Chains A and B, each alone.
Chain A
């Protein structure tokens, strides 16, 4: 007996050695089982207990059951054995067990055994279908073979014959349970190779069902009995071999019976299977991709086979199901069928049509239809793929209610990747991390699904944004293809180029291609900006808004970010991130809807302005200088300034730059132009921006008794203030050019700190030129508003117009330490309605109730005083 054990050990070691060297990988499980068989047969021959049992006329046989029965003995699999007796279990059975089984335990095998009579087996199998499955796999090893046959027949006659349908239902229920506990292994990053859906258990399930229903004994018979096509059988066998081989390596590397392929073992197994790194795709990711593909094959073929069996289970009642014809397809048992196989051969476009019809009616393809699609995939040639039907078909499917389910079937039958070959390249791409839950292909489908189900979200913001979209097909196409570039690094940029080409090929309209390409390129923009940049920084939000351009694109991008993250995994999306992205969404939306970028095509306007500028200044200003000036311009400036004015300003900026080099802080340019049509003047001031600048300009004008009609103030990014004031004519008796010169001198002195405007203005005793005695004085009104802008506090002032009013207001604002960033001055008759966009000294909005009250009071007092003073002056 000892010799047998050493032999077993030696053969096993030799087998392991070969396996690790990459030999015998496909047949390992059978060789392993054969080695163990050999041990049992030989030890039985030598066994003293056997001879005693023989003398006592107790016949028995040794039977391999479970995985060992199937000869599927992986490196660390259990060895399950049945000692079968005819009718009574003699005492001697115990010593037989001791003699031939105990040594195996000592050697470290996981050994399970049962000692039963035939009657026991039948009783147990009736009660417990687990026992029944292990007996379905039973294989005779040694002893009395008629006894074994008797057991097999009893199981057939007394259990299967009566409980076939029960058993089939039980098997189906265990699949549901497996899905809940082990999950869909073909989509998991740490798949369960045995119990997961798509794992080896699926193959067992198929076999048990085939055995119970039709007495088939092995996989091959599924083909020879016509239940699988030859191609399907070959695929299945290849897939099973792959999974089994991985399982053997996993057992070996982890040193235990372990079926969950956790991250720690993945790189090691990839190495053993000779996967190598490729640019942008590590070996382990290629390995997992292949494994997932194998498991997906098993999963889908198991469904084909078992559904057919299960249908027969139910159909014994005899009633034929009702049929309905819908657009040339047959609807039966809530499934959709092709009219016939020849119809598909004659018109392969039917394959696209059936999916459209399936999505439209919410009816899945029948198994037969799926199989026909698989078989006829080669009919989809280049002209099929490039027809505009494809684009239309895809859009139609995406907008249907059943889109997600139909895409699933298109994916499983590989119709989708044949239609769009680029999709095939990402189908099984896996990312080796704990962040991405699904391979890329499945992730893309889940992204579409999330959007289709957005209405079920608690978060009603998402669904109301979705409902407002002008063209949800664009968003859904982007969702399906957003990761199409994930064949290496920089996937968003790569994807943009790919998706353009793909959509052109299938005849999508150019405008929509642009939108999809935009979404693919920027699908990470919102989330990256929200989590990595400072959202209280105006520049960040403006930059984001400039990139996005329109509210509709923003909405699509917001939904795509959400769906993409949700389909990635629980770590990619949570309330914490949702909060940040939502904040960014609203800030960008406000800018695009109300702010400076509220024009529909801000980006295009800027581009056009740049081109105009280049063309019209050709030769006058060197390009690098022009570029410098253009880069400095703020977007609000670009969007609100005519090309002709812009060119003038660029020339002014050239002059200003020259002065800046000499005088720095006091550098100043004043340019005056008469608007003959309206009869007023336009004064342009260039100076270095600083708090109070606006007030100084207003003051210098007031000092020279010039009434301000309106103003636009801009600050370029290089801190150059470009302020444009429209003012009334100086009036009779004064030469405008001289007045403007005086204004420039006063302002220059003020900038240098040599002139105190407030003192000089006070000396003048208040502006009195515009006295209008007897006119009703409007009580000045001041509103402080924080809702309109995310970055500014708005101060609105309504009052009677007069010379110096603007100066008074802005001086007060400056005194309150407020920085005026934007001013909208408008005068209607003798009423002004001025709006100032301000921030406090720290660059923040003014939000404290007390501070707001203080601003309001100070302005009201200032305006009321001056108003009174004017009235007093007037009444003298």
Chain B
């Protein structure tokens, strides 16, 4: 099992969600995050005063999937979150040691 973590542009969420549920991904965690990568924050000057925006608003989605499904999940995110513009985001993949569903005690892929 792998955890796929992707930082994407906010507007792309619905498309990504739909793409993933088409793959049969059962659940995901979404959080509002702020940060910067190559797309730095920027500075605005308004009537002589400066407004520095250090961090850009993004969404982070986290999905845990069976290892065999990972390439498809990654492709789906890549396809749906792509605009070709700077700031489209990044995808990170981590190994997951174990999953436990609290209610039933199921473990492993059954618990996904």
Residues of A within 8 A of B (CB): 460-461, 464-465, 468, 531-537, 574-577, 579-580, 582-583, 586, 842-844
A536 near B53 (CB under 8 angstroms)?
Answer: no
B-side interface residues, number (CB < 8 Å): 22
On chain A, the residues within 8 Å of B57 by CB distance are 576-577, 579-580
A576 near B34 (CB under 8 angstroms)?
Answer: yes
Q: List 11 A-B contacts (CB under 8 A).
A: A464-B49, A531-B10, A531-B11, A532-B10, A574-B32, A575-B34, A576-B33, A579-B55, A586-B44, A842-B84, A842-B85
Nearest CB of B to A700, in Å: 32
A534 near B85 (CB under 8 angstroms)?
Answer: yes
Once A574-B32, A575-B34, A582-B53 are accepted as A-B contacts, the answer to whether A537 and B83 lie under 8 Å apart by CB is yes
B49 near A534 (CB under 8 angstroms)?
Answer: no
On chain A, the residues within 8 Å of B34 by CB distance are 575-576, 579
The 9 tightest CB contacts between A and B, nearest first, are: A536-B85, A579-B57, A576-B32, A576-B57, A580-B57, A533-B11, A534-B11, A586-B44, A532-B11
**Chain A at the B interface: SS class:** helix
Nearest CB of A to B60, in Å: 11
Docked pose: A468 CA to B53 CA in angstroms: 22
Docked pose: A426 CA to B86 CA in angstroms: 44
Docked pose: A844 CA to B83 CA in angstroms: 11
A461 near B46 (CB under 8 angstroms)?
Answer: yes
On chain B, the residues within 8 Å of A844 by CB distance are 85-86
Please give me the residue from chain B that is nearest to A583 by CB atom: B53
B56 part of interface (Cβ distance < 8 Å) = yes
On chain B, the residues within 8 Å of A534 by CB distance are 9, 11-12, 83, 85
Residues of B within 8 A of A (CB): 9-12, 14, 32-34, 44, 46-47, 49, 51, 53, 55-57, 83-87
Docked pose: A67 CA to B53 CA in angstroms: 57
Nearest CB of B to A787, in Å: 9
On chain A, the residues within 8 Å of B53 by CB distance are 579, 582-583
Docked pose: A645 CA to B53 CA in angstroms: 44
Docked pose: A576 CA to B47 CA in angstroms: 24
Docked pose: A532 CA to B59 CA in angstroms: 12
On chain B, the residues within 8 Å of A576 by CB distance are 32-34, 57
Once A531-B11, A576-B32, A579-B55 are accepted as A-B contacts, the answer to whether A536 and B86 lie under 8 Å apart by CB is yes
Docked pose: A533 CA to B83 CA in angstroms: 11
A843 near B85 (CB under 8 angstroms)?
Answer: yes
Q: Interface centre among B44, B49, B55, by most A CB within 10 Å?
A: B44
On chain A, the residues within 8 Å of B12 by CB distance are 534
On chain A, the residues within 8 Å of B84 by CB distance are 842-843
Docked pose: A579 CA to B12 CA in angstroms: 17
Docked pose: A601 CA to B49 CA in angstroms: 28
Q: Interface centre among A464, A579, A586, by most B CB within 10 Å?
A: A579
Nearest CB of B to A201, in Å: 38
Partner of B47 from the list A464, A531, A586 (CB cut-off 8 Å) is A464
Docked pose: A583 CA to B12 CA in angstroms: 17
Once A531-B10, A537-B83 are accepted as A-B contacts, the answer to whether A464 and B32 lie under 8 Å apart by CB is no
Nearest CB of B to A839, in Å: 10
Docked pose: A533 CA to B53 CA in angstroms: 20
On chain A, the residues within 8 Å of B46 by CB distance are 461, 464-465, 586
Please give me the residue from chain B that is nearest to A790 by CB atom: B42
Nearest CB of B to A558, in Å: 11
Please give me the residue from chain A that is nearest to B31 by CB atom: A576
Docked pose: A582 CA to B11 CA in angstroms: 16
Please give me the residue from chain A that is nearest to B54 by CB atom: A579
B51 near A536 (CB under 8 angstroms)?
Answer: no
Docked pose: A533 CA to B85 CA in angstroms: 13
Nearest CB of A to B51, in Å: 6
On chain B, the residues within 8 Å of A583 by CB distance are 53
Please give me the residue from chain A that is nearest to B46 by CB atom: A461
